Amino acid sequence: MCGIVGVVSAEREVPSLLYRSLRKLEYRGYDSVGIATIGSAVKVIKRVGGVNEIENLMQGLGGKTGIGHTRWATHGEVNERNAHPHFDCTGKIAVVHNGIIENFSEIREFLSERGHTLISETDTEVIAHLIEDELSSGLNLLESVRRALLKLKGSYAIAVIYEEEPSKIVCARKESPLLIGIGNGENYCSSDYVALLPYTKEFIVLNDGEMAEITPHSCKVFRIDTGEEVKKEKTIMDWKPEQARRNGYEHFMLKEIMEQPMVISNSLRIPRKELKEAVDVIASSEYIYVVGAGSSYHASLGMEYLLTNLGGMRAKAIISSEFENYSPRGLEDSVVLCVTQSGETADTLKAAKISKRRGATVLAMTNLVGSSITRISDHTIYMRAGPEVGVAATKTFTTQLALMSLLSIEVSYNRGEITNSERTELEVELRSIPRKTSSLLKGLKDLRNLSRRLIDRKSFYFLGTSIGLVTALEGALKLKEIAYVHAEGYPMGESKHGPIALVEDGFPVIVVDHGDEKERIEYGVMEMASRGAEIVVVSPREIKGESLIKTPEVSPILSPVIQVVPLQLFAYYSAVERGLNPDRPRNLAKSVTVL
């Protein structure tokens, strides 16, 4: 998730406006920063690091049209060559981009054959060269951008400037946020309201498949597929700056829960080369150890289940802090998958180093390009969830699960454990989860009432069977982390070996039904209910309990990706109803960088 901004003005120079806007977008990415403007020619500054890195470089820019970008790296290392804006061969076209272009490798090859020289490792640079190709046939900037976009597969929000049409920005959106700000003698575009609220309260929100041509005095919106002009209504946005940074949500955690349909979709757009490399490494190993801490450990349990039951592999999840004690001394035939959203978790980094010393091949799964884990590991697979501000993992957890599901399906096919038709069926289901999650989120309004009803309870059980245990464990962790309520996740069958002693009238038990083993689930529910437990069931079907949180039907092995979402939201409301700040839970840090 990156931040983009553009300004085109009739009267004033724009570099300082771009800089101030990028400061407000820095929460969306802080790997590198860049600005391009048009005065007598296109000028650019780029630096690795945060927005402050360019503060003292602004004097020479000038220009009344410009675009800026703050990067969260997804393709290519963190360096100035990969920083945005990106250019064509002539240096007259500049592009900033947020999103993931799935077919950039094929386009890059196509462009190289046509004589283009590409200098970065990013997916974005191909857009500038495609536009250059179209302009060379005599088209204007608007139509050249439109035709270039028709060649792209994936998600994007882009803004483009061109030296030969200096008082104009062309921008477009598909599955990444983009809006237009309407000013007086100047107009704007950005990924987020927060960047533009100091300058305007009037906005036009682009829908997927729309593009706009903005000048200092006009804004026209068009459909990308046909070029037909679209009439749009203005929206008045009277938000306070911090509220805008959260996109109108009360807390970052809620914003990040609601972003999950988009980021899950982005995570599944992993470049084929990156996916194939990880699949080949895992499929050729004798043993696979999956290592993580906190939510990443729960995701690791999901990967263990998938590789064992779908792929027929010997797989084991181990908590990072105990890896040294619970792993074999010799790991020469093993792959160790180290899962850490920050790439800086001290226990997981230690586990990676131990694995290397013991002869293992180390594969990292992380959200941060260039993080410490990427330098230790032999191979890396990226989550592409964007920055997560809330301390409690939400969207990073579901993107881990989604990627692990995709990896496991491909590994299972590679090893001959599933047929091609089974692989296709599972992957179609997996790619339907973002849409189903979006629908689910719209129907969870009663969760706040449920959290109010249970506000006086001092302890919870979260029970599940099979892969539903992953969801139960994560649901319990979320409630502990942000609502400060004792909650334990257990295998349903294990609950009668001790934990059931605590169950009495009104004791809340949340049961995760992953869509399989119905008789076993129903028996467990009856067993708890007979002791007076208040039962809440998370299920795609009708299971008897005081409350039912209905989730969309998916293959049981994919269920944690979608079924954890209502439990995240339940924990969020439980914290808010107790007057707590879910973004900053006590005693916890976003990244645990000490042993």
Within this chain, do residues 406 and 462 fall inside the same structural domain, yes or no? no
Within this chain, do residues 414 and 477 fall inside the same structural domain, yes or no? no
pLDDT of residue 172: 97
Within this chain, do residues 510 and 531 fall inside the same structural domain, yes or no? yes
Residues 6+ apart with CB under 8 A from 489: 461, 462, 463, 464, 469, 472, 473, 474, 475, 476, 477
Residue 284 lies in a domain: yes
pLDDT of residue 547: 85
Q: What is the pLDDT of residues 525-584, one digit of tens each?
A: 999 999 999 999 999 998 877 789 999 999 999 999 999 999 999 999 999 999 999 998
Q: Which of 199, 127, 110, 195 is nearest to 161 (CA)?
A: 127
Long-range contacts of 89-93 (CB under 8 A, 24+ apart): 89/116, 89/117, 89/129, 89/132, 90/132, 91/42, 92/42, 92/162, 92/163, 92/164, 93/128, 93/131, 93/132, 93/135, 93/160, 93/161, 93/162, 93/163
- The count of structural domains within the chain is 3
Stretches in the chain below the pLDDT threshold 70 = 1, 241-244, 591, 593-595
Residue 592 lies in a domain: no
pLDDT of residue 244: 65
Residue 586 lies in a domain: no
240: annotated active-site residue? no
Within this chain, do residues 221 and 264 fall inside the same structural domain, yes or no? no
Q: Could you tell me the residue range of the domain that residue 332 belongs to?
A: 260-441
Residue 590 lies in a domain: no
Within this chain, do residues 192 and 285 fall inside the same structural domain, yes or no? no
Q: Compute φ and ψ for 550, nearest 5 degrees.
A: -80, 125
Within this chain, do residues 233 and 347 fall inside the same structural domain, yes or no? no
Among residues 375, 409, 441, the one where a domain terminates is: 441
Is residue 81 within 8 A of residue 108, CB to CB? The reply is: no
Within this chain, do residues 276 and 425 fall inside the same structural domain, yes or no? yes
pLDDT of residue 456: 95
Within this chain, do residues 301 and 372 fall inside the same structural domain, yes or no? yes
- Return the CATH number at 472: 3.40.50.10490
- Residue 328: both structure tokens together: 């074999």
Residue 253 lies in a domain: no
Q: Which of 457, 451, 524 is nearest to 487 (CA)?
A: 457
pLDDT of residue 363: 98
Among residues 441, 463, 493, the one where a domain terminates is: 441
Among residues 416, 441, 466, the one where a domain terminates is: 441
Considering the candidates 2, 171, 189, 219, report the single residue annotated as catalytic: 2
Residue 467 lies in a domain: yes
- Return the CATH number at 164: 3.60.20.10
Q: Report yes or no on whether pTM surpasses 0.85.
A: no
Within this chain, do residues 378 and 494 fall inside the same structural domain, yes or no? no
Within this chain, do residues 121 and 172 fall inside the same structural domain, yes or no? yes
pLDDT of residue 235: 85
Considering the candidates 43, 201, 232, 590, report the single residue annotated as catalytic: 590
Within this chain, do residues 406 and 472 fall inside the same structural domain, yes or no? no
Residues 6+ apart with CB under 8 A from 110: none
Residue 412 lies in a domain: yes
Residue 293 lies in a domain: yes
**The one-letter amino acid at 228:** E
2: annotated active-site residue? yes
Within this chain, do residues 431 and 383 fall inside the same structural domain, yes or no? yes
